[in-house]
Amino acid sequence: MTFLCLLGIWIVCFLLFIRERSWPGVLLFAGSTLILAGTTAGVLIQTLIARTSSPEDLIKYQGYMYIINAVFYLIFALGLVLFILKYLKLDKQLKGSGAS
């Protein structure tokens, strides 16, 4: 289920990136791509490590993946904040020009 949600977010970010190539769109698309790839690869690698290595190695891997995924989510969040700020600025400009 998580994969389907992440895939849905990735599709929306891809469409935004195609429609509007701005920094917010690039960051949203890059962040969602990294999150989707990191989550998918993380599950596969975690399964492999759980089968072949010690529990200590698995815990180390999970710690590394939490840090890496946090960076991916930070990229996505930065893109979202920039996107919101851009459209709040655009909305303010439209309201300002409509009042004149």
Q: pLDDT for 64-87, tens place per residue? A: 999 999 999 999 999 999 999 988
Contact 11, 28 (CB under 8 A): no
Q: Indicate the pLDDT class of residue 99, thresholds 50, 70 and 90.
A: low
Higher pLDDT, residue 91 or 72: 72
Q: Indicate the pLDDT class of residue 1, thresholds 50, 70 and 90.
A: confident
The domain segmentation of the chain, as residue ranges, is 26-85
- Cα–Cα distance between 65 and 87 in angstroms, integer? 33
pLDDT at residue number 98? 61
Buried b (16+ CB within 10 A) or exposed e, 28-38: bbbbbbbbbeb
Q: pLDDT for 8-53, tens place per residue? A: 999 999 999 999 888 999 999 999 999 999 999 988 999 999 899 8
